[in-house]
Structure formats: structure tokens, C-alpha cells
């Protein structure tokens, strides 16, 4: 069974920056894990550009997408795949999943602010 890993901005930057004694980035070490498929959302490029990280992980990410080691998703592609699986209710389902994800994050920020 293949495991799925969704890569986010924070993970990509930090693992691209971290290197072992052989000058291999942690990102490359993770990409060598057997039995995994790696994914990212296209919005990650905007987030990486905004922050202007150094070293810049964008060329590395583009190379991994070009070589099919990471699969790049857009909202349209996600909606298309959801529609194939669940029919015309896919947009509502996607909106609901996004809302719950944002609400969960908003709640954790609120809790952190109260507890600080």
C-alpha cells in the first residue's frame, strides 16, 4: 500500500535548508523514502516566493515536479478528481473540507493566543 505525503511550505523550506554531513538536503533524504507518493498544492509556489527563502527551494521543487517525484495539484484538479469519485456534489464537499481545515487552524491560533 502506497503512503501519501502532502508537502507544505514550512516543511519544504526547512528540509531544503537542512543538510547532512554529505551535503544532502533532508528534503532529498525524505524523497528517497520507499512506498511514498509526494504531493503539493500549486499555491505553495506563491507562498515560497513571498517569503524569499535562501536558499531558494523553488528550483528544487520544480525539478521534483518535472521528474514526477512530486505531484502538483491545483484546486481544479482536486475538484475534477472529487467529481469523478463523488459526482456533482464535489464542489460543496471540497468547500466543506477547506472550511473545516481553516476552522481547525483558526481555533488552534485562538487557543494559543489565550494560553500565551
How far apart CA 16 and CA 103 sit, in angstroms, is 29
Q: Residue 80: give the domain boundaries.
A: 76-116
User: At a CB cut-off of 8 Å and minimum separation 6, what does 74 contact?
Assistant: 41, 42
Residues 17 and 52 in one domain: yes
CA 83 to chain centroid, in Å, comes to 21
Residues 59 and 81 in one domain: no
Q: How does DSSP classify residue 52? A: T
Does residue 109 register a pLDDT over 60? no
Whether the model clears a pTM of 0.85, i.e. scores above it, the answer is no
Residues 1 and 17 in one domain: yes
Q: What is the pLDDT of residue 108?
A: 53
Q: What angle, 0 to 180 degrees and rounded to 10, lies between the N-to-C axes of helices 9-17 and 43-51?
A: 60
* 33-78 per-position pLDDT tens digit: 999 999 999 999 888 888 877 788 899 999 999 999 999 999 888 8
Residues 49 and 24 in one domain: yes
**Other beta carbons less than 10 A from residue 49's beta carbon:** 11
Residues 66 and 27 in one domain: yes
Number of domains observed in the structure of the chain: 2
Residues 47 and 92 in one domain: no
Q: What is the pLDDT of residue 19?
A: 85
- E strand or H helix at 5, and its extent? strand 3-6
Q: What is the pLDDT of residue 69?
A: 95
How far apart CA 77 and CA 43 sit, in angstroms, is 13
Residues 116 and 91 in one domain: yes
Amino acid at each position: 500500500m502506497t503512503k501519501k505525503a502532502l508537502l507544505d511550505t514550512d516543511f519544504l523550506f526547512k528540509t531544503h535548508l537542512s543538510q547532512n554531513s554529505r551535503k544532502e538536503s533532508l528534503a532529498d533524504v525524505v524523497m528517497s523514502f520507499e512506498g511514498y507518493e509526494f504531493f503539493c498544492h500549486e499555491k505553495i509556489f506563491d507562498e515560497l516566493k513571498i517569503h524569499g527563502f535562501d536558499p531558494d527551494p523553488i528550483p528544487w521543487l520544480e525539478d521534483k515536479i518535472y521528474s514526477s517525484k512530486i505531484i502538483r495539484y491545483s484546486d481544479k484538479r482536486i475538484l475534477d478528481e472529487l467529481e469523478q469519485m463523488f459526482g456533482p456534489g464535489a464542489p460543496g464537499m471540497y468547500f466543506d473540507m477547506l472550511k473545516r481545515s481553516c476552522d481547525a487552524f483558526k481555533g488552534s491560533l485562538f487557543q494559543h493566543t489565550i494560553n500565551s
